[in-house]
Amino acid sequence: MDFTIIIVIVVLIAILLTYLIVVSASKQKEGKRTPNYRALFIIGISWLPIGIATDNTAFWSIGLVFLIIGLANKNKWKQETKWSDLPPNVKRFKLTLISVLIIFLVIVFSYLMFKGN
């Protein structure tokens, strides 16, 4: 089996698991959800230079829109919870997610390095 197929399968499974986690978390919350304008600003400030560097009009234009929306609603930015204030199960989940993403990144990087040789 080609290693690329394995990577695609792992990415699809990760996307599916993330979707299921988000859906279950949103069902537990009651009430109206408000957009996280700070996150939109961060996405915009990340996508804008990536789009300019890669000469990708879609990336820099969407990044610019997110950036403007985030800045226009700066007074509605949510305060981030400090790590020390998080419950233990949320800390464990975040650490697990970060660890899995780092392992995945190392695997993909290693594959690309060996494929080039």
Query: Residue ranges of the domains in the chain?
Result: 33-79, 81-117
pLDDT in tens, 21-59: 776 666 665 566 677 888 889 888 998 888 888 888 888
Predicted confidence band of residue 99 (pLDDT cuts 50, 70, 90): very high
The more confidently predicted of residues 31 and 104 is 104
pLDDT in tens, 66-79: 899 889 988 888 77
Within 8 A by CB and 6+ apart from 76, the residues are 34, 37
Predicted confidence band of residue 103 (pLDDT cuts 50, 70, 90): very high
Distance CA 40, CA 63 (A): 9
Structure tokens given for 81: 């919870």
pLDDT given for residue 117 in this prediction: 61
pLDDT given for residue 24 in this prediction: 66
CA 43 to chain centre: 9
pLDDT in tens, 73-96: 888 887 777 888 888 888 898 899
Percent of the chain exceeding pLDDT 70 equals 85
pLDDT given for residue 25 in this prediction: 64
pTM: 0.51
- At residue 35, φ and ψ (nearest 5 deg) are -70, 150
Within 8 A by CB and 6+ apart from 7, the residues are 107, 108, 111
Distance CA 53, CA 55 (A): 6
Distance CA 18, CA 3 (A): 23
- DSSP label of 72: H
